[in-house]
Amino acid sequence: MTDLRDPAGQITPELVVLLADDGSAIGTAAKSGVHHRTTPLHLGFSCYLFDHDGNLVVTRRASDKATFPGVLTNSVCGHPAPGESLVDAVRRRANRELGIDVSDVVDVRLVLADFAYRAEMNEVVENELCPVLVARLREGAVVRPDAGEVGWHGRVDWAGFAGDVIAGRATVSPWCAEQVAALNALGPAPAQWRDAETNDLPAAVVLGPTAA
């Protein structure tokens, strides 16, 4: 979906935040047209969701995605809207992609503040400053993926998943591969990963409250 409804119910284009090399905002662009051969640098995020048993929710990108269709990736990812906090963006995309009630996404924490990546497939470029967050699902949270976003989802042991990704035994999106390696370097237990320094965030980012 590339459109949003405002409080009055009017449909408006979904926008992404365009960035200068230093991470400051320099404008906006419609999400529907921002990705192409010369995609400008823009703001994104990725989030890794863990259930109450400590298992990671992984997803497989829908088969009709323009880039990297049908590959495993993180739990949710997306683009904060102009002025939207990362925490709110995580909850909004968890609801949009996985059908999870926003109140069931808790303990949202920033763990990689300065992650960035560039990837290309079929002459479409991904080019993002992409902070990485983790969050917890409340016990009993219902997951109902949107088939247009997610082809499959499952819950896996983090250590096994990270080991497979790092060893090349699992085919994942390029950004997921880089993120997993960086997250694994934080330690073996996701619940004990330290919070990242907010000073390392791109200047355009609004983090937002992280309380449950």
pLDDT 10s digits, 46-85: 999 999 999 999 999 999 998 899 999 999 999 999 999 9
Percent of the chain with pLDDT strictly greater than 90:
90
Of 173, 104, 89, 107, residue with least CA distance to 143: 104
Average pLDDT (122-151) is 96
In a domain, 24, yes or no: yes
The pTM for the full model equals 0.92
In a domain, 199, yes or no: no
Average pLDDT (152-166) is 97
Q: What is the CATH number of the domain that holds 140?
A: 3.90.79.10
In a domain, 194, yes or no: no
What is the C-alpha to C-alpha distance for residues 184 and 166, in angstroms, rounded to an integer?
Answer: 9
In a domain, 5, yes or no: no
What is the C-alpha to C-alpha distance for residues 53 and 47, in angstroms, rounded to an integer?
Answer: 17
In a domain, 80, yes or no: yes
| pLDDT reported for residue 74 | 97
Is 60 exceeded by the pLDDT of residue 196?
yes
In a domain, 19, yes or no: yes
| pLDDT reported for residue 210 | 58
pLDDT 10s digits, 21-44: 999 999 999 999 999 999 999 999
User: How many domains are contained in the chain?
Assistant: 1
Annotated catalytic residue, options 97, 126, 128, 178: 128
163: its two tokens: 């080991």
Annotated catalytic residue, options 77, 126, 149, 178: 77
| pLDDT reported for residue 38 | 96
Q: How confident is the model at residue 10 (pLDDT cuts 50, 70, 90)?
A: very low
The yes-or-no answer on residue 128 being catalytic is yes
The yes-or-no answer on residue 47 being catalytic is no
Q: Whole domain around residue 119: which residue ranges?
A: 14-188
Q: How confident is the model at residue 12 (pLDDT cuts 50, 70, 90)?
A: low
Q: How far is CA 138 from CA 41, 101, 182, in A?
A: 34, 10, 26
72: β partners: 60, 172
User: Is 35 in contact with 123 (CB distance < 8 Å)?
Assistant: no
In a domain, 179, yes or no: yes
